Amino acid sequence: MKLREMQLRVRALSEAEQATITAWCGSQSGAVRQRDRACIIAWSAAGWWVSDIARFVRVTPQVVRKWIKRFNAVGLDGLKDQPRSGRPATYTAEQIGEVVTAALTKPETLGLPFASWTLDRLAAYLAEERGLPIKRSRIDEVLIAEGLRWRHQETWFGERVDPAFAEKRGPSSPSTRHLLQIVS
């Protein structure tokens, strides 16, 4: 038997499967894993060798074979993630929505005495006002999963919260370089 005959190939694709695979391969907004798996199928259908596909996608040849075999057996549904073992999600979609909504709301509009959220402030607000006890680390995970970046230092954005900050801080350290003033 020739080596060429032993090469693992993807089965013939239907028109609908071909269109979906092409769309997933070109997607910039979808899941990266789904895009990579679709590209594995597309390149296999185009006649690429498993080793070449693996090198291009930066996975092992065993991973490429796994996805080709799963697609051949199940179709497009085979490219989706399977349920994993472990503890199920502890927060409902509504609770996640509450976290995101609260994070996007200015604290001042809620009658709170500060101008911006910190993870600790948001966790305290959600626990006390909304009855949703959630850890700050989980809030951070939720916001990142929703595509939101968390600001770590509120003083970098806009004016300082305390207008008398310079007076309270006192003079700068003697080792601090003084900025040159422009003379006109």
Q: 111-158: per-residue pLDDT in tens?
A: 988 888 889 999 999 999 999 999 988 998 888 888 887 665 544 445
CA–CA–CA angle 30, 31, 32 (5° rounding): 115
Question: CB-based burial of residue 49 (10 Å sphere; 0-12 exposed, 13-18 middle, 19+ buried)?
Answer: middle
**Which ranges constitute the DSSP H helices of the chain?**
3-6, 15-26, 32-45, 50-57, 61-74, 93-104, 119-128, 136-145, 165-169
Q: Over the stretch 59-73, which tens digit does the pLDDT of each residue have?
A: 999 999 999 999 999
Q: How many CB atoms lie within 10 A of CB 11?
A: 14
Question: What is the C-alpha separation between 32 and 23, in angstroms, rounded?
Answer: 13
Question: What is the C-alpha separation between 81 and 65, in angstroms, rounded?
Answer: 16
